């Protein structure tokens, strides 16, 4: 599908001010990012889902094991290679061999195309790359044929003392593209410190919490808001969390109903303050969930009490059959971007501290207030010239594609900074990752 630049059908108004402020402060903003990255290290890679409401442009999810490199434009690859060269130079300049550990599901062709694309980027970086699977089904090297004539070789992992590899292959770097929803398996634990494991195990979803990420984002957003002189709410979704829900027992979900009501009323207050005539909604998601599973839109607290069996089952279990007991309640940001008359949301891909491309996730059957990461979605790569690092400061706000995508890149990089902060604080030697996270921050 050819990419036309998405229509922004939503209300003009405050977001254009925000755009103008960003474009007026490009040197200060880039200088600030440079300073931030001197103080902390970015994750190896990340993708950020954004929602653009016209009056608000905010990240709603940050993925530290991005699975859609195949959705980037082919033209984006040289920048991805260059960024991964920087990452390798910074973290492990002596590396010669890299082991990529993907998700277990070896039958999802789209995911395998992602793995193949990633392996190609890393090879071009100048590393010998092998793919080693955690899946019990992979008992011998397996050549998988992919559409477009590509093929991907997947090998069983081999643990040799404290070293992880595949048969005859001892890598310097182990790169996870597996989000460890079910926890880090023993074969990944206690690796030789000389074998660089990226991202670290505590970046996996068995440890990570969305609410912790967004608490870190609050801090980053507050500082950035001071820098450019805007209200942080313009690019920061409010959120709350509940730590002990049980979707199979409605009576147990009083905390959830209370938090939903409180958050809806806070959003309504912000809408009044900014003159926005919209009906507030929240998104309830598994605090450790991924793959678009365990997500619902709630427009009224009463909906939480009256979930039907199907909805309850859908919310109760996420990837790899895990029970959901912790949820994040996030301010819903309507998406007013459309592509080919379908609701769309931008997804920005980063390697090291650089935006390397992105795409629009498009869903023809979903509304502006719904999760688009669901069966039926498709992806439209951002055109390469809109590569998020070429603002056009002479264009009028709202008219330039370069500027729209530059601003996407800025917001995505703020989420990346939040992820860096989150991983620093969550590192095993640090204190409990969520001890300093208040229940409701905004």
- Give the residue carrying structure tokens 């931030």: 36
User: What is the C-alpha separation between 382 and 405, in angstroms, rounded?
Assistant: 9
* Strand 327-331 to 295-298 pairing: unpaired
Least distance from a second copy to the Cβ atom of residue 356, Å:
8
Least distance from a second copy to the Cβ atom of residue 26, Å:
6
Q: Which of residues 29-48 bind a second copy (CB under 8 A)?
A: 29-31, 33-35, 37-38
The angle at the Cα of 290, spanning 307 to 245, to the nearest 5 degrees, equals 40
Contact flag: residue 26 with a second copy (CB under 8 A): yes
Stretch that binds a second copy, among 77-85, 185-193, 229-237, 417-425 (CB under 8 A): 77-85
Stretch that binds a second copy, among 107-115, 176-184, 368-376, 387-395 (CB under 8 A): 387-395
Strand partners, 165: 158
User: What is the C-alpha separation between 157 and 197, in angstroms, rounded?
Assistant: 14
The three state secondary structure string of 225-266 is: HHHHCCCHHHHCCCEEEECCCCCCCHHHHHHHHHHHHHHHHH
Sign, CA dihedral 102-107-109-110, equals negative
* Distance linking the first and last C-alpha atoms of the chain: 38
User: What is the C-alpha separation between 214 and 48, in angstroms, rounded?
Assistant: 12
Stretch that binds a second copy, among 20-28, 199-207, 249-257, 267-275 (CB under 8 A): 20-28
Least distance from a second copy to the Cβ atom of residue 38, Å:
6
Contact flag: residue 354 with a second copy (CB under 8 A): yes
Least distance from a second copy to the Cβ atom of residue 98, Å:
9
Q: Which of residues 108-127 bind a second copy (CB under 8 A)?
A: 120, 123-127
Exactly one of 4, 265, 393, 399 binds a second copy (CB under 8 A); which one?
Answer: 393
Helix axis angle, 401-426 relative to 210-228, nearest 10°?
130
Pick the closer one to a second copy by CB: 313 or 393: 393
Contact flag: residue 83 with a second copy (CB under 8 A): yes
Q: Is 146 exposed, middle or buried (0-12, 13-18, 19+ CB in 10 A)?
A: middle
Contact flag: residue 88 with a second copy (CB under 8 A): yes
Least distance from a second copy to the Cβ atom of residue 64, Å:
21
Least distance from a second copy to the Cβ atom of residue 127, Å:
6
Q: Which of residues 279-318 bind a second copy (CB under 8 A)?
A: none
Interacting residues toward a second copy by CB under 8 A: 26-31, 33-35, 37-38, 74-75, 77-79, 81-83, 85-86, 88-89, 93-97, 120, 123-128, 354, 384-385, 387-391, 393
């Amino acid at each position: 599908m050819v990419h036309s630049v998405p229509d922004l059908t939503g209300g003009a108004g405050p977001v254009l001010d925000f755009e103008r402020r960003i474009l007026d402060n490009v040197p200060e903003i880039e200088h600030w990012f440079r300073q931030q990255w001197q103080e902390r290290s970015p994750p190896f890679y990340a993708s950020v889902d954004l929602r653009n409401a016209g009056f608000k442009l905010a990240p709603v999810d940050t993925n530290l094991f991005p699975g859609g490199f195949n959705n980037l434009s082919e033209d984006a690859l040289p920048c991805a290679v260059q960024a991964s060269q920087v990452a390798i130079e910074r973290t492990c300049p002596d590396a010669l061999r890299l082991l990529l550990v993907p998700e277990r599901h070896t039958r999802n062709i789209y995911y395998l195309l992602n793995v193949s694309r990633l392996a190609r980027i890393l090879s071009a970086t100048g590393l010998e790359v092998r793919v080693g699977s955690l899946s019990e089904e992979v008992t011998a090297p397996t050549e998988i044929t992919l559409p477009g004539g590509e093929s991907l070789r997947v090998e069983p992992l081999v643990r040799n003392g404290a070293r992880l590899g595949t048969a005859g292959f001892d890598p310097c770097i182990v790169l996870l593209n597996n989000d460890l929803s079910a926890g880090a398996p023993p074969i990944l634990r206690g690796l030789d410190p000389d074998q660089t494991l990226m991202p670290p195990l505590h970046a996996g979803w068995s440890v990570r919490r969305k609410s912790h990420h967004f608490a870190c984002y609050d801090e980053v957003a507050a500082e950035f808001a001071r820098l450019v002189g805007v209200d942080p709410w313009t690019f920061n979704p409010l959120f709350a969390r509940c730590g002990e829900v049980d979707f199979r027992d409605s009576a147990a979900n009083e905390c959830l109903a209370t938090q939903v009501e409180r958050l809806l009323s806070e959003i309504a207050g912000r809408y009044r303050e900014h003159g926005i005539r919209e009906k507030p909604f929240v998104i309830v998601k598994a605090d450790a969930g991924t793959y678009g599973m365990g997500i619902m839109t709630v427009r009224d607290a009463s909906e939480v009490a009256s979930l039907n069996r199907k909805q309850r089952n859908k919310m109760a279990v996420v990837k790899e059959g895990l029970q959901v007991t912790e949820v994040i309640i996030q301010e819903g940001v309507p998406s007013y971007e459309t592509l080919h008359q379908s609701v769309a949301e931008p997804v920005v891909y980063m390697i090291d501290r650089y935006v390397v491309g992105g795409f629009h996730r498009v869903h023809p059957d979903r509304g502006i207030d719904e999760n688009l990461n669901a069966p039926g979605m498709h992806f439209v790569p951002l055109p390469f010239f809109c590569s998020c690092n070429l603002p056009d400061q002479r264009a009028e706000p709202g008219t330039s594609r370069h500027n729209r995508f530059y601003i996407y890149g800025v917001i995505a990089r703020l989420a990346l900074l939040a992820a860096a902060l989150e991983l620093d604080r969550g590192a095993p030697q640090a204190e409990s990752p969520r001890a300093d996270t208040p229940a409701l921050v905004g």
